Amino acid sequence: MSTLEIKNLQVSVATENGFTEILKGVDLTIKSGETHAIMGPNGSGKSTLAYSIAGHPKYTITGGSVTLDGADVLDMSVDERARAGLFLAMQYPVEVPGVSVTNFLRTAATAIRGEAPKVRTWVGEVKEAMASLSMDPSFAERSVNEGFSGGEKKRHEILQLELLKPKFAILDETDSGLDVDALKIVSEGVNRVKANSDLGVMLITHYTRILRYIKPDFVHVFAAGRIVEEGGPELADKLEEKGYAEYVTH
């Protein structure tokens, strides 16, 4: 059993006029096997939370703490966070020209596992995971995300999730830009990883449609840089019906 604990997290970003506070004291605890949906309007700070945990240099931590099984995440480099068991699926995955998907995945797996996977078994692992995500085998030889459609990029993120087997996955608007079929395939991939491990999930989304496929244990409403309401799956139903108007201050 692992625990990702966020306490009073405060984060700012540099602007032309100095620093602007984005996160204003976030408290959230995720345990192994749990799925937490983070929902809220645009600009509420949801993605800032994701990238701050992952270690993006754009964000300055001004207060609070993030710990993984008691270890100080904020004191770790980005790669140390990944090796500790944190995984971020980005809303807009970046292209890495000249690096094949196969080499990228094997290098990442080597870093996580501490030794290079045996080639024969690794090829089988990759093929099986790609098939389960309805990915064309030829993608393995293409440069990472180069020329990929939005749906293909998101499938590649879940392919990494399946192969790297982290303790906690932060999925930043994984549903954005997906058609119904791709959404179902990606969601099934997340559910498959969860079924085969104790993966804890932080699922960031605007919409409830992905929650029809990935069932949350807890729903947290994000507004103006903090969590303003928490509940179970029924809270997502309320948001579907009424939207975020009551949480947005003008």
What does the H/E/C string look like for 190-231? HHHHHHCCCCEEEEEECCCHHHHCCCCCEEEEEECCEEEEEE
Per DSSP, the three-state class of 8 is strand
Separation CA 78–CA 64 (nearest Å) = 18
More confident residue, 149 or 71: 71
The tens digit of pLDDT for each residue in 183-232 reads: 999 999 999 999 999 999 999 998 888 999 999 999 999 999 999 999 99
Q: Which residues pair with 178 in a beta bridge?
A: none
What pLDDT, on the 0 to 100 scale, is given for residue 12? Answer: 95
What pLDDT, on the 0 to 100 scale, is given for residue 93? Answer: 83
The tens digit of pLDDT for each residue in 79-131 reads: 999 999 999 998 788 888 899 998 999 999 999 888 999 988 888 999 999 99
Residue 250 has pLDDT above 80, yes or no: no
**Contact criterion met (CB below 8 Å) for 41 and 247:** yes
Cite the beta strand spans of 114-167 per DSSP E: 143-144
This prediction's pTM: 0.92
